[in-house]
Amino acid sequence: MTPAKGTHRRSSRKIAVPTDFSPAATAAMVYALGLAKNDRSKVTAVHAIDPFDYRFGPNDLRQIKRDAAWTQAQESMSTWLNAHKFSNCAPVVIEGEAGPAIAQFIDDEAIDLTILGTSGRRRVARLLLGSVAEEIFRQANCLVLVLGPKMRARQQQLRRLVFATDVEPHSLAVLSSLSKLVQKFDSTVSVIRAVHTDIKSRTERARIRMETTSKIKATATPNLRKKIKTIRVSFGPPVEVITKFARASKADAIVMGIRSGGELDRASTHIPWAIAHRVIADATCPVLTIRG
């Protein structure tokens, strides 16, 4: 049947939830299924098997170990889905080191949105262990919504967004993607820029505020400009400024434009002071990362 004039069929959105079967991954799946409930989104749970344990040794022994690892992963996936009654998603098991393998899966399957749960490791532990979540959001070519350890239970929606920006090119470059997101979810946007407290001059602070407003308005699409409620500059530590502003705004998510680490993707996940990771660790709402 031909659709009536003025109507069109909306293609279903693809949501991926990487899982290691941890409580953080469980929270991410709950959020994903809630977000997908009211549209035609398809949710996939994806788990990566690290082949390191069967990479070496005689071929026969390697194959036995590989088969055992795959059987265990598939059983763990089934147990996790059944235990939490996650029936409205498709399970997928892939092979490879978690960060790069999942990022490649996201690209190969044309995933529209990835939802991650993270424990938000910090300081020494993170220097040693890195962050799979950050590896994924710095490599994947899609929107990535990250649920940090301090996130409070809330409705799964993206109606009130806070865009945290330093008005650098990589940050402003995401405004076109933000415009599409705002249109899809009928969202409103509040913009926050954190500037170092060393700037004391009233004249300079006024200049920075004017610069911020002019850059946002010049770069935003007409649709996005209509949805921006406020543009604010605060002088203080970036993580504190951003998370405090998000709480005051009752934000459903903080949106951040991030740089890809390029060849240094892995190294970038071991920097404890990386702003994106620290915001994720401290925010009480999800953080939506968009590569600039």
CA–CA separation, 240 and 244 (whole Å): 6
Whole-prediction pTM value? 0.85
pLDDT for 152-209, tens place per residue? 877 788 999 999 999 998 899 999 999 999 998 899 999 999 999 999 999 999 999 9
pLDDT for 226-273, tens place per residue? 999 999 999 999 999 999 999 999 999 999 987 765 443 443 333 334
pLDDT for 133-144, tens place per residue? 777 877 788 899
Q: Which CATH class is domain 11-151?
A: alpha beta
Give the residue-averaged pLDDT of 261-286: 64
Letter for the amino acid at 90?
A
Copy the structure tokens of residue 141.
Answer: 């070519």
Nearest Cα residue to 48 out of 89, 98, 4: 98
Instruction: Return the pLDDT at 268.
Output: 37
Instruction: Return the pLDDT at 2.
Output: 42
| Confidence band of 120 (pLDDT split at 50, 70, 90) | low
**DSSP code string of 53-105:** GGSSS-HHHHHHHHHHHHHHHHHHHHHHHHHTT--SEEEEEEES-HHHHHHHH
